[in-house]
């Protein structure tokens, strides 16, 4: 089973992970889940929801100066989260999208060509992304197929491990997604791989997460 080509990434501060893993790695957890799902259900179900080529996603709209300022804000917040200091970080959708290319290569390429934040729903505490997610084909077939559509995540706080998310909706243009598939995707631990690793203390230091009309708010103190 082949893996996506890795893409080079720029230098990366470990403190960027507090946001990237909370808000961007969610979808990479979904890639793992989708790959497992391929082997648990009839292949024709997956084939009916995917296409053979990825869809291009919009690039970041932030200027280099704004991106540099964002990197500092994220780094400062990460440092505060690991040292139990009071801090708050408010991010817009544009800033969330600018963070995606900063993410390190986890073995499946970078985030920038796989998801793009497009919408928030504060009443439901959900973030919706435009997605182009690679999925494995049958194990004897080369290459990938792609889920192209919208994926919505409910963002919540686990009192023990920190922020987490679960899939609550998947929309694919012109196709009907079975509720059972969405339900199964929502069962996977989207941040489980990172909660027990080096980023665990950073995630545990975030005690409040809230979706806002503009994006998301993180705080190291409960509200």
- Cα 40 from Cα 217, distance rounded (Å): 36
Query: Would the pTM of this model clear 0.85, i.e. be above it?
Result: no
CB atoms within 10 A of CB 12: 14
Q: What was the pLDDT predicted at 142?
A: 80
Q: Find the mean pLDDT for residues 173-180.
A: 89
Out of 3-7, 138-142, 176-180, 208-212, least confident range: 3-7
- Cα 177 from Cα 150, distance rounded (Å): 11
Phi-psi domain of 48 (left: phi exceeds 0; alpha: psi -120 through 50; beta: other): alpha
Domain boundaries, the chain: 14-219
Buried b (16+ CB within 10 A) or exposed e, 191-218: beebbeeebeebbbbbbebebeeebbbb
- Cα 200 from Cα 214, distance rounded (Å): 27
Out of 18-32, 42-56, 101-115, least confident range: 18-32
Q: What was the pLDDT predicted at 2?
A: 43
């Amino acid at each position: 089973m082949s893996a996506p080509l890795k893409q080079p990434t720029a230098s990366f501060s470990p403190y960027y992970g507090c946001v990237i893993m909370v808000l961007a790695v969610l979808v990479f957890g979904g890639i793992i889940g989708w790959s497992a799902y391929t082997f648990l259900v009839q292949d024709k179900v997956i084939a009916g929801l995917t296409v053979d080529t990825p869809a291009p996603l919009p690039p970041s709209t932030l200027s280099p100066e704004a991106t540099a300022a964002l990197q500092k804000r994220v780094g400062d917040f990460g440092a505060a989260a690991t040292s139990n200091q009071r801090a708050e970080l408010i991010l817009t959708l544009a800033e969330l999208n600018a963070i995606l290319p900063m993410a390190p290569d986890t073995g499946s390429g970078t985030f920038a060509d796989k998801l793009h934040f497009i919408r928030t729903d504060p009443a439901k505490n959900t973030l919706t992304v435009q997605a182009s997610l690679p999925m494995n084909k049958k194990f004897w077939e080369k290459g990938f197929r792609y889920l192209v559509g919208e994926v919505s995540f409910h963002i919540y706080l686990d009192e023990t491990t920190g922020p987490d998310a679960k899939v609550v909706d998947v929309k694919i243009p012109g196709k009907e997604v079975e509720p059972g598939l969405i339900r199964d995707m929502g069962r996977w631990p989207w941040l489980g791989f990172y909660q027990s690793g080096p980023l665990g203390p950073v995630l545990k230091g975030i005690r409040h997460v809230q979706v806002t009309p503009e994006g998301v708010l993180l705080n190291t103190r409960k509200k």
